[in-house]
């Protein structure tokens, strides 16, 4: 029991405190943590708050939301790939205030060797992200005309993030631009969906976004 407990303590200290090869910073709402195309030399861990990952095409003037991440999630792990000049494949932006731990690539690799618990945690995160991306892709391909249902799934996931981030029933609202990018529709159409959801009691605005998970789940179930 003692060795496992000691590993847990070491891992917690490594991910939650500043030290050699790692730092902690608080990002404000809409502040960019890193940008697509920039050099990648560190892995990030969300100590508290929410982070949005987006990818864009400057030539077409388009962008898409890849993921919304909450407390306990890693991002920027692509820098661990064995390439000499790793570049960021997406842009990471804080939603609301977020406290982020930045771990330099070399320090993270050393810790992966020393702490099996960190390796397990990273693998769990990557598998979870892969499963979510597959579900999102399948939903987008199979339900191209069901924007309301995609929005309902996104809001349910956001509700779980609220619980995980200990924000209570109210959470910093996602912008309609962000939601539209995740649903794969226009802001005008997204606004129509949200107004309908508000009238049906699925969501409520009162200084923040309150999501009625039970009603949304019932809607998705038919």
39 contact partners, CB below 8 Å, separation of at least 6: 85, 86, 87, 88
* Strand, helix or coil for residue 196: helix
- Quote the CA–CA distance of 183 and 118 in Å, as a whole number: 33
Domain spans of the chain?
2-117, 145-220
Res. 85: pLDDT tops 80? no
Query: What are the pLDDT digits (tens) for 164-192?
Result: 655 444 456 677 787 887 777 888 988 89
Query: What average pLDDT does this structure show over 72-96?
Result: 86
Q: Where are the alpha helices (DSSP H) in the chain?
A: 2-16, 105-114, 116-142, 147-164, 176-183, 187-199, 213-220
- Is the pLDDT confidence value at 1 over 50? no
Quick one: average pLDDT of 34-42? 93
The CB-side HSE value for 138 (13 A sphere, CA atoms) comes to 7
Higher pLDDT, 20 or 10: 20
Reported confidence tier of residue 2, pLDDT bands at 50, 70, 90? very low
Mean pLDDT of the 46-54 span: 88
2-117: CATH topology is Jelly Rolls (2.60.120)
Q: Is 156 helix (H, G, I), strand (E, B) or coil?
A: helix
CATH architecture of residue range(s) 145-220: Orthogonal Bundle (1.10)
Distance CA 106, CA 85 (A): 14
């Amino acid at each position: 029991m003692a060795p496992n407990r000691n590993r847990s303590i070491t891992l917690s200290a490594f991910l939650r405190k500043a030290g050699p090869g790692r730092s902690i910073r608080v990002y404000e709402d809409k502040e960019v943590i890193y940008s697509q195309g920039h050099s990648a030399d560190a892995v990030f861990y969300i100590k508290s708050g929410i982070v949005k990952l987006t990818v864009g095409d400057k030539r077409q003037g388009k962008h898409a939301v890849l993921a919304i991440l909450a407390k306990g999630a890693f991002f920027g792990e692509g820098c661990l790939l064995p390439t000499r000049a790793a570049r960021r494949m997406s842009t990471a932006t804080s939603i609301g205030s977020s406290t982020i731990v930045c771990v330099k690539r070399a320090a993270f690799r050393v810790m992966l060797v020393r702490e099996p618990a960190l390796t397990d945690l990273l693998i769990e995160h990557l598998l979870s992200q892969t499963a979510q991306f597959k579900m999102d892709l399948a939903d987008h391909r199979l339900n191209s005309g069901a924007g309301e249902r995609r929005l309902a799934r996104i809001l349910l996931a956001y509700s779980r993030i609220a619980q995980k981030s200990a924000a209570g029933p109210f959470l910093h609202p996602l912008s309609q631009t962000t939601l539209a990018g995740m649903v794969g529709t226009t802001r005008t159409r997204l606004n129509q969906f949200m107004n309908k959801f508000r009238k049906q009691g699925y969501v409520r605005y009162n200084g923040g976004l309150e999501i009625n998970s039970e009603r949304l789940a019932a809607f998705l179930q038919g």
